Amino acid sequence: MPSTALADTIAANRASIQSSIGAVADHPVELIAVSKRQPDERIEAALECGHRIFGENRVQEAQEHWGGRRDIEGLTLHLIGPLQSNKSEDAVALFDVIQTVDRPKIVRTLAQAAEKIGRTPDVFIQVNTGQEPQKAGVLPSGLADLVALTRDTYPGRLVGLMCIPPVDEPAGPHFALLSKLAARHGLEKLSMGMSADYALAASFGATHVRVGSAFFGERESD
């Protein structure tokens, strides 16, 4: 069980984030608590304060965190890290939302896994708005083809776009670009914004923000 002090701190962090979002956004914004590399006591503290929406970067770590908690009422799990095609079946089995679809091979392996398991998580397409060679995500120029393939191939719902702006550039133009691309393709949901810029992202229309350290506090290994 988490200590009272830890539970109070995380509850206060959560309330502060929600208040900041509410001050700039007139639309619903889902707060995804990024639980990667977080110890069990912090996850328990988040659950204790009523939080039910979490994001994980790796399938295996998510299985360790949530395999024994999957029956918690209202729990929603998002995959927000890169997905290897050989992990597609595990991802479909565990997650409710997969935010990092970024290439045709992933669309196909997710479609095969969904048909095999009979489960269809919602998906987002990750867009490499900064066109960074080291970063995952489809380039904006390739988005139309990937949207079409996903809609034609994946049996579940394509609901939105996700991005991670370059760390050395202002985030606002990237959020604006993602919003423009989503509108162009008739996609309503935008996953953008992290601990440093979630309020800015909400002001640009984010429907989902992915917050780690501002929610849980700095990780012990940081």
Q: Tell me the residue range of the domain where 146 lies.
A: 4-216
How far, in Å, are 70, 137, 167, 187, 209 from residue 160 at the CA level? 24, 13, 22, 5, 13
In a domain, residue 110? The reply is yes
In a domain, residue 222? The reply is no
In a domain, residue 30? The reply is yes
**Given pLDDT bands bounded at 50, 70 and 90, which one contains residue 209?**
very high
**Given pLDDT bands bounded at 50, 70 and 90, which one contains residue 102?**
very high
How many other CB atoms are found less than 10 A from the CB of residue 49? 17
In a domain, residue 128? The reply is yes
**Given pLDDT bands bounded at 50, 70 and 90, which one contains residue 51?**
very high
In a domain, residue 74? The reply is yes
**Given pLDDT bands bounded at 50, 70 and 90, which one contains residue 218?**
confident
Q: Which structure tokens are listed for 156? A: 């579940």
pTM: 0.95
- What are the tens digits of pLDDT across the range 110-135? 999 999 999 999 999 999 999 999 99
In a domain, residue 132? The reply is yes
| 179-183, long-range: CB < 8 A, 24+ apart | 179/204, 179/205, 181/127, 181/140, 181/143
In a domain, residue 221? The reply is no
Number of domains present in the structure of the chain: 1
* Exposure class string for 186-199: b at 16+ Cβ within 10 A, else e: ebebbbbbbbebbb
- What are the tens digits of pLDDT across the range 147-182? 999 999 999 999 999 999 999 999 999 999 999 999
Q: Residue 188 sits in a domain of what CATH number? A: 3.20.20.10
In a domain, residue 184? The reply is yes
Q: How far apart are CA 154 and CA 133, in angstroms?
A: 27
| pLDDT > 60? residue 220 | no
